[in-house]
A and B are shown apart, each in its own frame.
Chain A
Amino acid sequence: MKGIEVKQVTKSFDKKMILNGIGMTIEPNKIYGLLGRNGAGKSTLLSLLVNRIAPDTGEIRLDNKVIRDNDEQLSKMFLMSEVDLYPKNLKVKDVFKWTKSFYGGFDEELAQDLCEKFGLQTNIIFNKLSTGYRTIMKLIVALAVPVEYVFLDEPILGLDAGHREIFYNALVETYAENPRTFVISTHLIEEIANLIEHVLVIDHGRLIVDDETEKVLGEAYVVSGPEDKVDEYTQGLNVIGSDKLARIKASYVFGSLDNKPISDLINIDQMDLQTLFVNLTNGGNENE
């Protein structure tokens, strides 16, 4: 099978379980959104996927081969994260060169084009860049590196609206030109909601949503109207949260509506991804 298979992966730090029995598949040439509250286990999962850390139990395979200590498989993946793994005092252009020698290739044309668009100077020591520009440099590396699987952990950290726009455009353009898999972990859900084909939600170390975005949203509804009518309608449905203003209520339903007859007094709309996410993960966070 082509793709990444994660089987029953568990990971603890200091006796605290961070990931609990994660099983999923990441297919080639798709854009994934990895969503979770702070401390939900997103970064840990991404680090496991590229073998930066090893799972306590379970295994991860890429194209049927275990990734652990398998350089050939690992060279097909790239993780952009908050951690800086480059030697200190390296200039931006040297980071590009370093990446090229490490991954056996680098799209220099794309990198140069993006440096111009973002206004990133390549003669500067990357440690001296501002938070935003350090993110930008790492993004450029992630988009220019010749791998089949790109993992982006908080790729827009510290980026202003204009720079985020440039990033989303660059992402779509490079994806259209050279399809490969992107797994994007971000808190700005609204901005990527229409970009991601598949959504993964992690909550308290467990994978609670793993499906096509369209399908997930097709089963997520906001039922609103007078409180008694809304409650009557949503009885027996999977209500994941609600908001109330006086006697007007909005209930969030995730799952089938069972073809119930709908009262004229209530409205049913599709929920957006952000609202769905917030309501699915609002049980506080014990990993914090």
Chain B
Amino acid sequence: MTDALQPPPKKNPQTRTVSPTRPPERRSRATLGLSAAAAEGRFALQVCADCQTVQYPPRDACRSCLSPDLPWRDVSPDGALLAETTVRTSPNLYFRERAPWRTGLVRLDAGPVVICHVHGDCAPRGPVRLWNLLDRAGQAVLLAVPQERMPRMEDDPQLRQMTSDPKHRRVLITDARHPAVPALIKALKAAGAVEIYVGEPETWRPSPGRAALAEMGVDLQPLDVTDTGSVQRLAAEYGGKTDILINTARFLRPGGVLARGDTAFARDEIEVNYLGLMRLAQAFGPAMCARTADGVNSAVAWVNILSADALSNAPDYGCFGASNAAALALSQSLRAEFRGAGLRVMNVLTGPTDDAWYQPLPPPKVGPAALARAIVDGLQRGLEDVCCGDVARDMHERFRRDPKVLECERTMAGDQP
């Protein structure tokens, strides 16, 4: 059984912070399909459309019939550990610093033989299941785990390298006014987060939730994402101890272009939803990137909560959707910029949330607890892309199938009576 992960000792300011190193990042284009599946926490392999042979390593033509048609399909992740080794020395810095490292050879029930990481709880030559996870280079790797869940298995040092688990980590939630914040704090605490900092804009305004948040034992700090000075002030003090940043800042008003008489709300949406993200990233990003190898409570993840409208927009919330699409596009740039340090960007796409701004829309809606659960679950599994709620999942599925068809579906006006 995995040894319990110990809370980090108090940081000695005189010792040098370990520089981030990364496992190998380069992959062939075919293998990036595995990373795409890992970003969503799926185990998928190429399966020949002509003869059904399951392929691994990923390739460009079927190994039994040479068909070039090799779509990625979810397949059984179960198999048996055939052989294993513990690598004690490596010419690669990342593994050298983390040795010993257990790897093995697994024969999948689906056919292929896979070189993979091996969780400490796997019995030699026993049955295993493969998890498809993103490593700190942001690329998919396969980890063999026992088929039965084991206590504390998330504490395994190799697995923890691949997740963004909040356990023993410090979290900054950027805007206390988002309706999901109390639920998020509760879920993070249950997941073992040790400190939670919550930003609060416009502290001069009366805030009905403030007392309740203070009672939850979080550290409330002034933070206005539209104010560069405010963001920089907080980053100066908290940037070096933020392990996970969850951006809950949101400015939301209904309506498309013609429903509004001017660009005032759109300007606010851009200020908060797009430029707010940029200000936060410019202020907190560098400090977090410098601390991604800093032991148990290293910096691991940056979380954006985005409307699924960012994938494909519609007039009901058209201007808000546009600001979210801008934020989604920015997050892709940010993901690439953080990648060198191994800091993960997780985008949580959500359907309409169950609050006043989405009141006119019919259910299903995303409640605060569901959003909190999706965020914490995504962190624990080390995901990059999370869909929260049925609407977001549905939209993501349609987007994957055909973005243009989705656009047509979303923008059809319906026949006049």
A, B bound? no
